[in-house]
A and B are shown apart, each in its own frame.
Chain A
Amino acid sequence: MGFFLPKTNWVLQTFVSTKQNFPAVCRCFTSTTSWRWAESTDPKAFHQEIKIKDDIMTKKKAGKKRFAPKPFSAFVAGSSKMRAMYNTNNAVANDSSSPLNIVSTPDTPLSAKEWEKLKEEYQHFKKFEDVMFDSMVHNHSPVDVAKSLLVAVAKRDGDIEYSYLVKYLTLCVFHKDIGEIYDIYNIMKAKYKSLEASAYSLLIKGLSVSSHWKETLVLLEKVKKVSFHSRQNYGDCIEGALLNQERNLAFELFHEMVAENLIPASATIKLFFDFCQPVKDDHLKNKCIDILYYLRENQIYPDESLMLSVKQWFESIPGENWKGNLTSMNNNSRQCPSCGHLLEDINLSEEEFINVKDKIKKDVIEGTDVFRNTSPQELERFQRFVNEHPPFDVVIDGLNVARTTPLNPSSKTLLDVVVYLAQKYDRLLVLGRRHMLKNSFQWKKRDMDDMQKKADFFFTDNMSKDDPFLLYATFHSGGHCMLVTRDLLRDHRAVLSDNVTRRLFFKWQRGHQMVVSSYVPGKILTFEDALPYDTVVQTDGNTWHIPYDDNLSKRVSYEIPVKWLCLQKK
């Protein structure tokens, strides 16, 4: 694909440049090419289609698996995307051609007269210069061309609009033309009292890699006066400081940034590990390790490039002889396959557990208005029910489990699951709604009676929500109790009031949620078990285990990475 593109471009250019009637041809061709690009350069879409077809083929061949639920692996990175693909059966939509590309930009500087002529040709644009600058930024035109347009504008108007200056600055920053950036900076400083955020960010980005990098700190202060900092601004300043060997300043900036609740970009953290690599003093080493602890506290997972930097950094510590391995964990045991160390347990501490339990009652069940999810009478009935019964081993979301496959009556599916689980666990609880008790096609009275011999039941009102009760019942039963549902419980996590509780809840969920992964009525029933270890940056002094995102799978916020970096001191 890589060599294909320039070739088409080249053919097109030669063809176009031999034509006499330009603008119309250009426009028509730019549009057609961009379409072709969009089609051909989207390898993912291509692969996805094939994949889906393959899946269907294997299914048809297998035959048996026809009634199985769609593949469902709850929290693993990339699974939500897979599910979306499976459900819609669609390839990702192609990027449409950019509107910024409508004007063809010249590739050498033009004189004022020539610009005037060109402007006449594009009369239909309200502001020709605007469109032209946008197009230049989009195509990364050479700085000189943009400069010549500035000259033309300056000659005509005697002044240059702020927006043109900023767009020109964007171009200079892209080409890293530091002399020019500094000149613009001086002009802006002389002309305007203060700028807006985008110009500040561009200046910070441009100047941070130059010898004027100290100016970026001044600019950073100025941004604060009128707007908010972005993590990009801090990242650029840190880069400037590190490039100039001002490590302490860089760490200060980092702490300042964290204090402002900005989450540093992976690339910024990578800079620290890259620039502190010849680790000589302990002070510096501790600071870098503090960053790793920061990642742990905030459940941030490094990306692949950062992971490699961290690995290299550890291996470069003199005298400690660290060894790094890339690995992925076995889902059933806590042991790291590379070094044999036990990973951290996923269970919450007692204090945390009680905290989350209380928050669930307060935020998820009661919320702002008890009547929204349930009613006080029902809540009381539920609490009485839970207190009367000894702790459960498994709590089942009846309505969710029953809908696993549409081809089986709901009560039959639920019965199968209950019978299966009853062999393994002693005490089951099934949560459902009242309407399940009415004999109907989906809910057979006989099945329900059979089930009630094996498990306890609690039915909420038809208008109430059953999920909050589900969560509370599981928590009430204690740390050993498992939860069976295919629901990701994202909405319940979202209503929890603070970030820490949300994180703890997610940790608990990963460790205690069992998911029906495949089901064929009467034949197959398998569960995807909960993870035994916690996915978080962790250490015991002699080893570090760092989960990271690989570049291939796109992870969404409610998923966790599967790849690990295992570091071991020898």
Chain B
Amino acid sequence: MHLLNLIRRSAFKLIAPKMTKYGLFLTMPSKINTCGTLRMIYLNKSISKNADENIDLDEWKLVVLSGLQKEAFEKASPEEEPNIAAIKEYIDMSRRLGKAAPENITEEQLERLIEYPSVTSRNKYLAFLASKEMRKNAEKEKKKKQREEREELKKTMENEELVPKSRLFRAIWESSMDVMYNWKAAQAMSFGQPLVFDMDYNDMSEREMQNTVKQMMECEGANRKAVEPFHLYYCNFKEDGPYHKEFLKRYGDAWDNLFVTVTEKSYVELFPRDQIVYLTADSPNVMETFDHNKTYIIGSLVDKTIRKGVSLARAKRLKLATAQLPLERYFHWKTGAKVLTLDQMIMILIALKNTGNWKEALEFVPKRKHEGFVDPSLQQFINRQKNKRASEQNFKKKLLVDELSKKRLWNGLWEE
């Protein structure tokens, strides 16, 4: 092999000058793929030998070392604890390597980072912080752009003459919508069907707790906007407990103005036992219909490590009726756990309450989890039959019309 190479190369070297004259080998050496037998680079080297031999392969070291003096000054400035500084440096280096790590990190986050017991958990946390930071930056950028656009719009508006237009109503702002929602929520507080969130889950991690509270806020928002809202109960709520702290952090002052019943009592004390249905994916019973006289309970729990049967155990202890959504009956399930998020649950329940139609309600199950509904409902079947018949009739009509028009055409032709 090697010998063959040598011969070929030498042969090429002989031919090369001639060929280059004709411009046949003016391709770039860099285009050549990995090691082959006919190395065109050799050829090129022989052509432009002077240029190539000048590559000083260790030149980069000199360049890098010469750049060092500048950085040496920068290094002296930070005065922190050596340990924390080292870890900050470490994060910075990981970022330079292209790993997911945040640019800025607070003391609190650093402390939490150090507490993590393994490389993977630390890396995960860093990646989480990095993505958070990225999202924040993107939002900032977007807002900045919007502001600029608005200002530009203002400028153009100023140039035009403002003609007062006559309108029937004043513009409906968000605040007026809010007033309406609040009215409805107040109405629900006195007459609405209760829906209970069971907040007696205390062994959640911090992340899980944050997610839970965020989902519950979504729930409250979705419920407000419903045509007929539920009367939400937050049961087993502990004053100054982890839920309370998280809620205060998110809601701020608005927490005290929510149209929600927050209570330390258990739902068993508030409602008659035989009316309570605990919704849990582990339940052996499948929910058939939505009952307007029942009190449904949702466990306000996010468990990233799916702990099976936690809420079912709770219901078993209190001897309550349980139910799960008929997901398997309606869907070709694809991936993912059958545990849905709290906001998805409430959307489904609201839809059920207002329409009683499972298909419409289960639209809120994430699309990625299933491959469509199991079988077309009867209505759909009838619709399709109708369509079929209609299309057949249409087709016949069309044929008739065609024939007629043809006839006419022919007649016309003959007439001419």
Contact = CB atoms under 8 A, between A and B. Distances in A.
Chains A and B form a bound pair:
yes
Interface string A126-155: 000010000000010000100110110111
B97 interface: yes
Contacts of B309: 372-373
B75 A193 contact: yes
Contacts of A463: 284, 312, 316
B31 interface: yes
B309 to A, nearest CB: 4
Contacts of B52: 111
A375 B45 CA distance: 83
Interface in B95-136: 96-99, 118-119, 122
A151 B36 contact: no
B139 interface: no
Nearest to B315: A371
Q: Taking chain B's interface residues, is the majority helix, strand, or loop, or is none over half, making it mixed?
A: helix
A29 B34 CA distance: 12
Interface string A529-550: 0000000000000000000000
B98 A372 contact: no
Nearest to A147: B57
Contact of A462 (B29, B94, B284): B284
B374 interface: no
Interface stretch (B83-91, B269-277, B360-368): B83-91
Interface in B300-321: 308-310, 312-314, 316-317
A150 B64 CA distance: 10
A175 to B, nearest CB: 14
A194 B27 CA distance: 45
B153 interface: no
Contact of A151 (B51, B55, B99, B314): B55
Interface stretch (A101-109, A324-332, A419-427, A496-504): A101-109
A441 interface: no
A191 B71 CA distance: 8
A14 B38 contact: yes
A226 B64 CA distance: 25
A158 B64 CA distance: 7
Contacts of B98: 130, 163
A225 interface: yes
A289 interface: no
Given A147-B60, A192-B93, A228-B119, A26 B55 contact: no
B87 A14 contact: no
B90 A22 contact: no
Contacts of A110: 29-30, 55
B29 A106 contact: yes
A147 B55 CA distance: 10
B59 A196 contact: no
Given A13-B35, A151-B59, A371-B314, A191 B68 contact: yes
Contact of A17 (B33, B67, B284): B33
A13 B313 contact: no
5 contacts: A121-B30, A147-B57, A155-B63, A158-B63, A162-B97
Q: Which 5 A-B pairs have the closest CB atoms?
A: A13-B36, A371-B313, A22-B31, A118-B30, A154-B63
